[in-house]
Every structure is written in structure tokens, then in C-alpha cells.
């Protein structure tokens, strides 16, 4: 293990023999990767030692052991103690850089690696990891400042190989009081569909393959227990983590909760801003009940995973995003990171919202789903539809969904009803989203389109209004693509139609990939001319 430095042997008297033996034992344990035991041995040695050079090495090696156990806060303290004794200590600078890198503090980590690289060239050549860390830090520091992520190669490679390295990134967002519930995340500027809003790493995540059609309850409980244990362990090891986790909602007294500054969640936030508190496991459990995210949810897309892949995790800043049945944001899960982007155009000051469940459902279904989440949705769409739910035609349309009837006739009846009810603008998008199952079946059937196509709106009109109202959705865009292919509009000179599809595709997957990769995800041949 090249990161471990040992003191040169020297003459020792009998009085210091035991101290020498203790140091040797600690180093041996470290070389054997028995991290906890080596920490105990080095702690004993440090409490007895008077020699400054020996203390520097002991703190440096104990920092390495603590780093391997992901006890980053304690490891950083050891690095600082070692650097007080010898400010240009190569191994300590390398260890400190690795710790800061794992804390996503790329700028200060880069400073450590640069100082280490400028020391004795021979010492630098002994570290095969230093150049790699320098390159990674430069790349991730750039990404954290610019948000210019690109997943294209990984996507075009079929999600095979190493998962792309991502950096923490915050776009134009802030935390404010929410009219929906408690606190929320808001746009600080006008944002186009697909624009990246934030990229953040999980405090902890637990994943597995659960191949049963109906997920085994015991397997889910085991997964949940492992996840809780990981969060508790992370909170126990780091006061910053625990402090930020405790900033999240417990589901009670939300309107009285403090609105934290978003800078607190940036990796470079000063450690002295986070006070030490006794760990409250019950409080953590309450927070996880409200804020943990299931990666298989309808509002997410786990790239590169099969249908049996399930996971649960905690992403701090994303936890402030409330639900709405007219959501304007979506998320992608890539490794331990979540990427959040706008799923439709967003205005400055508008609250960012997710769909916690499938919102391409009638109002009654959505009400049942929101109850299972422990809340009632009062978004503009729900209020609008509540004003129409007494209409006989509305009730009849909802009753025939999924019963094998002529969905073209159902769509025609709903469209005629909207004319009589004087529904305009987004109202049409709301209702078309609620009865998307009927529209999807009608547009997907050549027989139904021959019968009803002249009497119902075109697919482009329906999709434009629906996406403007509730954001992009892969199922909607898939039907649009298939319809345009059949009509020939997506080939040849169909530039406007292709640009419409690309815009909706960016609303689904974000602007984190090039056009060719996006077309691949949308299942449009990359050889088609557009």
C-alpha cells in the first residue's frame, strides 16, 4: 500500500521500546487493511508519543484508515494535525485530497493534489493515483461550475461499461416557502424545457434485483432496513450530513419549519456552520418515511436497468421538490446521482414540482394515489377538474376507460364536451392528460384513425397542449413518434416535426446528451434524415 509511510528505523532505548512496538503494530494492522484496529493502535500511540515526526506519520496513517472507513470528518482532522507539523507532507496532502474529493469539494481537493505534485518528483512518481486524481478533479470542478454534463457515449454504448462520473451541480434554484406544502424548490430565472436544474449525490442508496411480478414484501423490508442503516451510519460519521438530513421534513408542522439557505447544501459549505447534535434515530426514520425516493417510481428513469431493478435512496436537495399533477421537472438516476431537469418551460419564481405518481390518470385515480402518499393534491389542474367532475359526460368517459370499447368514440365525445364546456388553453391539456389512455389507443390504431381521424384533433395538437400542461412523458412522445412515422412527417423535410419531438425528448431526458443519443432513447433511427 503505497499511501502508507513508515518512519526510518533508528536506535531506540529500552524506555521507548514499547512505543516503537506499538507503532509497528499499528502500521502492520494498516497494511493488513484492518482499519478499525489500526485506528485504535494509532490513537494509543498518539496519546503517548512526543516525537513530532512520528506524530506526523501517525496522524497521516490514521487519516488513511479513517478515510477507508469513510469517516471523513475525523480523517480531515488527522490530516490537519499532520500538516501542522509538516505542511508539505506528501502522503498527508494526497490523503486530504482524496477525502475532499469524496466530499465533492473538487476545488480544494485539486489544490491539495497540485501541491503534492509540486513536491519531490520522485515522491510523486511513487503515487500511481495522483495524476488520475488531478485529471478527475479538473474535470469535475469544471462540471460543477458549468453543468455541461454529457451522457451521450454511455447511452449510445447501451449503458455498458463504467457509469459516467458526475459532479454536484446547482443551477438557478432556491428554497422558499411553498403554497403546496411547507418549503419547496423554486426557479430563480426563466428556464427552457430540458434545462439542467441540479445534480446531487445520494446520502445513501440501497438497490437490488427483485424479479417477482409482485415484489416480495420480505425482500423490500430487507432493502429498506439496509437503506436506513446506511443513512444512520452516514449521519453518525458526519455532523454535516446529520444536520442537513434534519433539515428535511418529518411530515409534521411543515409551515413552522426553517427555510434553509441553499448554500448550506453546497459541498464547499464551511464545516463550522454545522453544529454537533446527539443522533436521534427516530427522527431520521420519520424523515426517511417522507423523503426517501424509490428509483422505480413513474416520475424517474433509471437508465440502463431492467424492469426488475429496484432501489431506494435519499437525495437532500431534491427532497424539497413537492408534488403536482401538472409537474414541471423530472429526474434521471445515474449511479448514486440524481439529475433533475425541467420537463417543460418554467418561469422565474415558479415552484419546481415532480409527479410523485402517474399523472396521466383521471382525477379520481389521482386522488386515490395521493391518499396513499398521505396528502391531498390541490394543484391548478386538480381544482380545474374538480369543477367539471359533476358533468355527466365526464363520468361516463371515465367509466368506459379500459373496457375494450371504441376509444376513438370516447376521444370524440370528450372533445365535443370540451367545446360545450368552453374549455380553453391548458384546460384542454389537463383533460387530455387525464384521459390519455383513450387518446393513446385511438392514435395507435389505424382502424380507429380511419374512422375518427377527421373528427378528432391531430396527434401533434393533442401532444403540444398536453406537454405544455403537464410536461413531457415518454409514453406521450412515443405515440407522437409512431404517428409521425406512419404519416411520413418524421422523414425527408419534416424538420419542424423532428424539432418538436427533440424538444419533448429533452423534457423527458434533459439536455445531458447529444442529438444522436436522444434519438436513440426515443427509438428514432439515427440514419433517418431530419
Give tens-digit pLDDT for 387-426: 988 887 788 787 777 676 889 999 999 999 999 999 999 9
Amino acid 371: pLDDT: 92
Q: Mean pLDDT over residues 445-470, rounded?
A: 94
Q: Mean pLDDT over residues 139-153, rounded?
A: 95
If pLDDT is split at 50, 70 and 90, which confidence band does 119 have?
confident
Domain presence at residue 187: yes
Closest CA to 330 of 467, 155, 179: 467
296 and 349 both lie in a single domain: yes
Question: 108: Cβ–Cβ under 8 A, 6 or more apart, which residues?
Answer: 100, 268
Residue 380 β-bridge partners: none
Q: Is the pLDDT of residue 139 over 80?
A: yes
Number of C-beta neighbours around residue 221 at 10 A: 10
Identify the weakest region by mean pLDDT among 179-183, 276-280, 295-299: 295-299
Range of the domain at 247: 153-354
Write the DSSP symbol of residue 411.
H
Helix (H, G, I), strand (E, B) or coil at 293: strand
Amino acid 362: pLDDT: 94
Q: Is the pLDDT of residue 168 over 80?
A: yes
The CATH number of residue 345's host domain is 2.170.270.10
The CA distance from 312 to 290, in Å, is 12
Edge-first strand listing for the sheet containing 293-294? 204-209, 309-314, 293-294
98 and 185 both lie in a single domain: no
197 and 101 both lie in a single domain: no
247 and 110 both lie in a single domain: no
204 and 344 both lie in a single domain: yes
Helix (H, G, I), strand (E, B) or coil at 309: strand
User: Which value, to the nearest 10 degrees, does the dihedral of the CA atoms of residues 360, 292, 309, 227 take?
Assistant: -170
Q: Mean pLDDT over residues 70-82, rounded?
A: 95
Closest CA to 269 of 238, 308, 300: 238
The CA distance from 214 to 307, in Å, is 12
Percent of the chain clearing pLDDT 70 (strictly above): 88
99 and 222 both lie in a single domain: no
Question: To the nearest whole number, what is the mean pLDDT of the chain?
Answer: 88
Number of C-beta neighbours around residue 217 at 10 A: 9
Among 146, 170, 191, give the residue marking a domain's end.
146
Amino acid 125: pLDDT: 54
Q: Is the pLDDT of residue 298 over 50?
A: no
Closest CA to 150 of 521, 519, 517, 520: 517
Helix (H, G, I), strand (E, B) or coil at 241: helix
Q: Mean pLDDT over residues 335-363, rounded?
A: 95
Q: Name which residue leads in pLDDT, 20 or 140.
A: 140
Among 96, 121, 146, give the residue marking a domain's end.
146
Domain presence at residue 529: no
Percent of the chain clearing pLDDT 90 (strictly above): 68
Amino acid 530: pLDDT: 35
Q: Is the pLDDT of residue 341 over 60?
A: yes
Q: Is the pLDDT of residue 318 over 50?
A: yes
Q: What is the pTM of this model?
A: 0.89
User: Which value, to the nearest 10 degrees, does the dihedral of the CA atoms of residues 391, 393, 394, 397 take?
Assistant: 160
Identify the weakest region by mean pLDDT among 350-354, 400-404, 431-435, 514-518: 400-404
Only one residue has cell 368517459, namely 397
The CA distance from 491 to 497, in Å, is 9
Domain presence at residue 99: yes
Q: Mean pLDDT over residues 478-498, rounded?
A: 77
169 and 67 both lie in a single domain: no
The CATH number of residue 29's host domain is 1.25.40.10
If pLDDT is split at 50, 70 and 90, which confidence band does 484 have?
confident
Amino acid 511: pLDDT: 95
Look up residue 396 and give its three cell numbers. Answer: 361516463
SS3 readout for 22-49? HHHHHHHHHHCCCHHHHHHHHHHHHHHC
Helix (H, G, I), strand (E, B) or coil at 181: coil
State how many domains the chain has: 3
Give tens-digit pLDDT for 103-115: 999 999 999 999 9
Amino acid at each position: 500500500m503505497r499511501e502508507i509511510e513508515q518512519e526510518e528505523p533508528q536506535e531506540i532505548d529500552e524506555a521507548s521500546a514499547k512505543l516503537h512496538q506499538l507503532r509497528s503494530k499499528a502500521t502492520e494492522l494498516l497494511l493488513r487493511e484492518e482499519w478499525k484496529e489500526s485506528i485504535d493502535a494509532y490513537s494509543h500511540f498518539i496519546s503517548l508519543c512526543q516525537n513530532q515526526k512520528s506524530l506526523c506519520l501517525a496522524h497521516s496513517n490514521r487519516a488513511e484508515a479513517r478515510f477507508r472507513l469513510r469517516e471523513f470528518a475525523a480523517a480531515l482532522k488527522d490530516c490537519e494535525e499532520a500538516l501542522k507539523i509538516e505542511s508539505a507532507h506528501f502522503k498527508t496532502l494526497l490523503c486530504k485530497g482524496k477525502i475532499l474529493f469524496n466530499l465533492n469539494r473538487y476545488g480544494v481537493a485539486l489544490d491539495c493534489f497540485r501541491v503534492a505534485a509540486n513536491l519531490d518528483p520522485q515522491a510523486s512518481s511513487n503515487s500511481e493515483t495522483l495524476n488520475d486524481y488531478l485529471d478527475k478533479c479538473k474535470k469535475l470542478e469544471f462540471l460543477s461550475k458549468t453543468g455541461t454534463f454529457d451522457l451521450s457515449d454511455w447511452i449510445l454504448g447501451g449503458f455498458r461499461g463504467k457509469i459516467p462520473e458526475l459532479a454536484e451541480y446547482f443551477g438557478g434554484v432556491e428554497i422558499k416557502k411553498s403554497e403546496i406544502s411547507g418549503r419547496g424548490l423554486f426557479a430563480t430565472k426563466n428556464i427552457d424545457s430540458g434545462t439542467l436544474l441540479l445534480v446531487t449525490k445520494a446520502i445513501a442508496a440501497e438497490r437490488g434485483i427483485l424479479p417477482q411480478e409482485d415484489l416480495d414484501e420480505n425482500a423490500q423490508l430487507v432493502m429498506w432496513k439496509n437503506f436506513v442503516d446506511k443513512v444512520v451510519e452516514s449521519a453518525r460519521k458526519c455532523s454535516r450530513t446529520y444536520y442537513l438530513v434534519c433539515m428535511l421534513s418529518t411530515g409534521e408542522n411543515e409551515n413552522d419549519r426553517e427555510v434553509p439557505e441553499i448554500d448550506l447544501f453546497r459541498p464547499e459549505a464551511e464545516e463550522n456552520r454545522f453544529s454537533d447534535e446527539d443522533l436521534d434515530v427516530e427522527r431520521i426514520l420519520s424523515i426517511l418515511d417522507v423523503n426517501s425516493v424509490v428509483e422505480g417510481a413513474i416520475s424517474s428513469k433509471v437508465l440502463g436497468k431492467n424492469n426488475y431493478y429496484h432501489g431506494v435512496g435519499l437525495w437532500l436537495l431534491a427532497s424539497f421538490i413537492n408534488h403536482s399533477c401538472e409537474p414541471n421537472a423530472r429526474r434521471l438516476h445515474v449511479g448514486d446521482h440524481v439529475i433533475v431537469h425541467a420537463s417543460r418551460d418554467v418561469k422565474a419564481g415558479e415552484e419546481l414540482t415532480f409527479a410523485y405518481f402517474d399523472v396521466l390518470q383521471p382525477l379520481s385515480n389521482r386522488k386515490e394515489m395521493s391518499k396513499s402518499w398521505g396528502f391531498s393534491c390541490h394543484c391548478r389542474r386538480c381544482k380545474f377538474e374538480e369543477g367539471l367532475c359533476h358533468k355527466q359526460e365526464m363520468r361516463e368517459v371515465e367509466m368506459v376507460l379500459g373496457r375494450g370499447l371504441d376509444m376513438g368514440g370516447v376521444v370524440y365525445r370528450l372533445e365535443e364536451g370540451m367545446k360545450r364546456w368552453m374549455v380553453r388553453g391548458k384546460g384542454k391539456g389537463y383533460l387530455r392528460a387525464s384521459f390519455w389512455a383513450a387518446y393513446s389507443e385511438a392514435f395507435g390504431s389505424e382502424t380507429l384513425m380511419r374512422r375518427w381521424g377527421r373528427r378528432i384533433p391531430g396527434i401533434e395538437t393533442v401532444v403540444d397542449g398536453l406537454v405544455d400542461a403537464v410536461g413531457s412523458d415518454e409514453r406521450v412522445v412515443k405515440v407522437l413518434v409512431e404517428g409521425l412515422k406512419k404519416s411520413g412527417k418524421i422523414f425527408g423535410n419534416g424538420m419542424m416535426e423532428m424539432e418538436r419531438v427533440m424538444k419533448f425528448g429533452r423534457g423527458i431526458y434533459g439536455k445531458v446528451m447529444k442529438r444522436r443519443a436522444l434519438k436513440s432513447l426515443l427509438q428514432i433511427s439515427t440514419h433517418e434524415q431530419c
